[in-house]
């Protein structure tokens, strides 16, 4: 068998949720980890994974997730944005009530691509409450970035900010509006446009309600077929003892409250924030995992980056790790791992497990640097790619990499238990070291 079954009790997971979040700036591999966890639960443990959900954000997020290595070599990869990646394992997927999406980009690009690759997209749902990204929000975002001048945030230009802004103003459009009473939809659109036009005419923005209505009307039938009351959906899964997996977008330093404004996104990106935005309660959460690239970090967009490398150093990681935004194609800024920020992510998200990813990407560097939780850099011997790529057991990994894991545990203050329970050593689904303590029932504080 590819992976061993853990010996500890796993029944505690039934009827509850596993959350997957990220560390400071996102992009560490939540899609990959979600796909792996769904695969592991379903295929290896034979547990009923009945749902996956995307709690927050929209197609500002992006990832490329690889299928298992096939007998003929290179594996197929799937690009995802708002659809949580459990869908690759045939798990019903929900774009949650606290997320936002652009119907054109979801239906005509993301779902179409998945369907073309043989994924069953009839299992993708959207909440009736989810807010919709409207085309004119993109103009608003462009205007807002322009007004900031040199202090522009460097957003992904997907109009995530204005969509959350209009949700908070109580002037946004939800899925239930699009598929509901046509007269009410017209009234809502008129209010939305009145708002926008009265504030922004000075900047030459003028939006016609009829255009917005026609735009939304073309998606009415498709959205009607996908729309669910997420509370009923969750209730059914809970009552059956099914398990859900939630895949957040972004990372804690981009969180709308905890991140460093203004270089942040507009949703909540920590695991507790994810629970609320999914429409779940803290009692639903059974296990929480944070992903973090092993010994390096990346950031896209503006804002401070304490451990940022020189461009020359960054270039090595960028090339090898394909560190270009999946959504925008922008080169990602690269820096060294920062254990202080990892500790902060653990505090904010209350995770039971860390999944270190991309351990093969940092290979073939002579020396690695880590900013410790005690506030100084420590230098490490690197490891060779040929020694780590595709390792599935801790003792298959080179000693330098094992030492880095051990150091991380100690620096994070885990003297008697382990928290780095998943270690990804390559792009394919099965390139994962799964420690015995993975999914062990967390002790109550
Ligand atoms: P927005 O979410 O498009 O408004 O962008 C706000 C900030 O969050 C910018 O710095 C983006 O680069 C960053 N950001 C948004 N989504 C992601 C993501 O999925 N990964 C990494 N950075 C992101």
Give the pLDDT confidence of 261-308 residue by residue, as tens digits: 999 999 999 999 999 999 999 999 999 999 999 989 999 989 999 999
Cβ burial 257-275 (10 Å sphere, 16+ → b, else e): ebbeeebbbbbbbbbbbbb
- Cα-to-centroid distance, 263 and ligand 1 (Å): 8
Res. 309 pLDDT band, cuts 50 70 90: very high
Q: Which of 22, 59, 63, 284 is catalytic?
A: 63
Ligand 1 atom 15: residue of nearest CA: 60
Instruction: From 300, 328, 329, 333, give the residue whose CB has the most ligand 1 atoms within 8 Å, as the site to mutate.
Output: 300
Predicted confidence at residue 325, as pLDDT, reads: 81
Predicted confidence at residue 366, as pLDDT, reads: 84
Q: Concatenate the DSSP letters of all residues of 307-376 into one string.
A: TBPPHHHHHHHHHHTT-B-TTT-PBPEEEEEEHHHHHHHHHHH--SEEEEE-TTTTTT-SEEEEE-TTSS
Res. 74 pLDDT band, cuts 50 70 90: low
Report whether 244 contacts 234 (CB < 8 A): yes
Is residue 48 over pLDDT 60? yes
Residue pLDDT, tens place only, 328-354: 788 889 999 999 999 999 999 999 999
Mean pLDDT of the chain: 93
Report whether 174 contacts 132 (CB < 8 A): yes
Cis peptide before 262 (omega within 30 of 0): yes
Q: How far apart are CA 187 and CA 47, in angstroms?
A: 47
What mean pLDDT comes out for the span 424-429? Answer: 90
Report whether 299 contacts 336 (CB < 8 A): no
Ligand 1 atom 5: residue of nearest CA: 155
Phi and psi at residue 164, to the nearest 5°: -70, -35
Predicted confidence at residue 70, as pLDDT, reads: 59
Instruction: Return the H-helix or E-strand segment holding 95.
Output: strand 93-95
Atom of ligand 1 nearest to the CA of 303: 10
Predicted confidence at residue 73, as pLDDT, reads: 53
The DSSP bridge pattern shows strands 367-371 and 377-381 to be: antiparallel
What mean pLDDT comes out for the span 33-43? Answer: 95
53 forms bridges with which residues in the sheet? Answer: 94, 246
Instruction: From 155, 162, 253, give the residue whose CB has the most ligand 1 atoms within 8 Å, as the site to mutate.
Output: 155
Residue pLDDT, tens place only, 358-368: 998 876 778 89
Q: How far apart are CA 352 and CA 343, in angstroms?
A: 12
Atom of ligand 1 nearest to the CA of 300: 12
Report whether 362 contacts 297 (CB < 8 A): no
- Cα-to-centroid distance, 385 and ligand 1 (Å): 30
Q: Concatenate the DSSP letters of all residues of 105-142 into one string.
A: IIIIIIHHHHHHTT--GGGEEEETT-EE--HHHHHHHH
Q: Looking at mean pLDDT, say which of 58-62, 145-149, 176-180, 384-388 comes out highest.
A: 176-180
Q: How far apart are CA 113 and CA 234, in angstroms?
A: 27
Ligand 1 atom 12: residue of nearest CA: 301
Predicted confidence at residue 174, as pLDDT, reads: 98
Res. 252 pLDDT band, cuts 50 70 90: very high
Q: Which of 22, 27, 255, 360 is catalytic?
A: 27
Report whether 117 contacts 79 (CB < 8 A): no
Q: How far apart are CA 424 and CA 353, in angstroms?
A: 13
Phi-psi region of 154 (alpha: psi -120 to 50; beta: other; left: phi over 0): left
Q: Output the CA torsion sign for 293, 299, 304, 310.
A: positive
Predicted confidence at residue 67, as pLDDT, reads: 74
- Cα-to-centroid distance, 326 and ligand 1 (Å): 11
- Cα-to-centroid distance, 265 and ligand 1 (Å): 6
Cα distance between the two ends of the chain: 35
Res. 1 pLDDT band, cuts 50 70 90: low
Q: How far apart are CA 215 and CA 207, in angstroms?
A: 12
Ligand 1 atom 23: residue of nearest CA: 250
The answer to whether residue 255 is catalytic is no
In a 3-state reduction of DSSP, which class is residue 377? strand
Report whether 243 contacts 48 (CB < 8 A): yes
Predicted confidence at residue 199, as pLDDT, reads: 82
**Which of 263, 233, 232 is CA-nearest to residue 250?**
263
Q: What whole-number percentage of the chain has pLDDT above 70?
A: 97
356 forms bridges with which residues in the sheet? Answer: 292, 423
What mean pLDDT comes out for the span 14-30? Answer: 96
The DSSP bridge pattern shows strands 17-22 and 285-293 to be: parallel
- Cα-to-centroid distance, 381 and ligand 1 (Å): 32
- Cα-to-centroid distance, 236 and ligand 1 (Å): 34
Q: Where are the alpha helices (DSSP H) in 14-53?
A: 30-39
Predicted confidence at residue 304, as pLDDT, reads: 94
What mean pLDDT comes out for the span 18-47? Answer: 96
Predicted confidence at residue 220, as pLDDT, reads: 98
353-357, strands of its sheet edge to edge: 227-228, 124-127, 93-95, 49-54, 243-247, 17-22, 285-293, 353-357, 420-424, 432-434
Atom of ligand 1 nearest to the CA of 330: 12
- Cα-to-centroid distance, 328 and ligand 1 (Å): 10
- Cα-to-centroid distance, 304 and ligand 1 (Å): 14
Q: What whole-number percentage of the chain has pLDDT above 90?
A: 77
Q: How far apart are CA 113 and CA 109, in angstroms?
A: 6
pTM for this structure?
Answer: 0.96
Instruction: From 25, 265, 303, give the residue whose CB has the most ligand 1 atoms within 8 Å, as the site to mutate.
Output: 265
What mean pLDDT comes out for the span 301-328? Answer: 87
Residue pLDDT, tens place only, 88-134: 999 999 999 999 999 999 999 999 999 999 999 999 999 999 999 99
Q: How far apart are CA 235 and CA 220, in angstroms?
A: 26
Ligand 1 atom 22: residue of nearest CA: 300
Predicted confidence at residue 276, as pLDDT, reads: 98
What mean pLDDT comes out for the span 53-72? Answer: 84
Contacts of 208 (CB under 8 A, 6+ apart): 193
Q: How far apart are CA 177 and CA 357, in angstroms?
A: 40
- Cα-to-centroid distance, 342 and ligand 1 (Å): 19
Predicted confidence at residue 203, as pLDDT, reads: 78
Atom of ligand 1 nearest to the CA of 157: 3
Instruction: From 20, 54, 102, 156, give the residue whose CB has the most ligand 1 atoms within 8 Å, as the site to mutate.
Output: 156
The answer to whether residue 252 is catalytic is no
Is residue 71 over pLDDT 80? no
Report whether 141 contacts 241 (CB < 8 A): no
Residues with CB under 6 A from ligand 1: 25-27, 60-61, 153-156, 158, 160-161, 249-250, 254, 263, 265-266, 300-301
Predicted confidence at residue 328, as pLDDT, reads: 79
Predicted confidence at residue 283, as pLDDT, reads: 96
Ligand 1 atom 10: residue of nearest CA: 301
Instruction: From 133, 148, 254, give the residue whose CB has the most ligand 1 atoms within 8 Å, as the site to mutate.
Output: 254
């Amino acid at each position: 068998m590819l992976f061993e079954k853990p010996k500890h009790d796993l029944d505690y997971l039934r009827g509850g949720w596993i959350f997957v979040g990220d560390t400071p700036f996102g992009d560490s591999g939540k899609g990959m980890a979600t796909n792996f966890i769904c695969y592991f639960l379903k295929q290896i443990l034979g547990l009923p994974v009945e749902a996956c959900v995307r709690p927050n954000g929209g197609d500002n997020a992006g990832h490329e997730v690889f299928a298992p290595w096939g007998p003929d070599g290179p594996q197929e990869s799937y690009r995802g944005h708002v659809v949580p990646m459990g869908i690759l394992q045939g798990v019903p997927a929900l774009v949650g009530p606290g997320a936002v999406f652009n119907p054109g980009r979801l239906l005509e690009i993301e779902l179409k691509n998945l369907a073309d690759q043989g994924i069953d997209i009839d299992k993708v749902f959207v909440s009736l409450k989810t807010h919709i990204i409207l085309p004119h929000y993109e103009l608003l975002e462009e205007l807002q970035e322009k007004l900031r001048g040199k202090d522009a945030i460097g957003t992904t230009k997907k109009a995530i900010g204005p969509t959350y802004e209009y949700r908070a103003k109580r002037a946004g459009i939800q899925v239930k509006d699009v598929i509901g009473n046509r007269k009410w939809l017209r009234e809502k659109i008129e209010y939305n446009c009145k708002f926008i036009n009265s504030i922004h005419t000075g900047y030459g923005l003028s939006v016609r309600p009829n255009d917005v209505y026609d735009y939304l009307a073309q998606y009415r039938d498709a959205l009607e077929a996908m729309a669910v009351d997420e509370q009923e959906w969750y209730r059914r899964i809970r009552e059956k003892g099914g398990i859900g997996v939630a895949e957040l977008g972004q990372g804690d330093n981009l969180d709308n409250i905890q991140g460093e404004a203004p270089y942040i996104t507009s949703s909540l990106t920590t695991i507790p924030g994810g629970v609320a935005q999914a429409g779940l309660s803290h009692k639903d959460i059974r296990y929480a995992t944070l992903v973090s690239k092993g010994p390096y970090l990346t950031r896209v967009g503006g804002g401070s980056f304490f451990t940022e490398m020189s461009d020359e150093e960054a270039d090595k990681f960028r090339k090898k790790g394909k560190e270009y935004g999946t959504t925008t194609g922008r080169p990602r800024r690269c820096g060294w791992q920062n254990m202080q920020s990892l500790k902060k992510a653990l505090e904010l998200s209350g995770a039971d497990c860390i999944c270190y990813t991309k351990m093969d990407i940092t290979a073939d560097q002579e020396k690695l640097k880590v900013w410790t939780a005690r506030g100084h850099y420590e230098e490490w011997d690197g490891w060779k790619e040929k020694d780590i790529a595709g390792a599935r057991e801790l003792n298959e990994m080179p000693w330098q990499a094992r030492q880095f894991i051990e150091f991380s545990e100690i620096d994070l203050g885990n003297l008697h238990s382990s928290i780095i329970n998943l270690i990804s050593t390559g792009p394919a689904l099965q390139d994962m070291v799964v420690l015995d303590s993975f999914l062990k029932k967390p002790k109550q504080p």
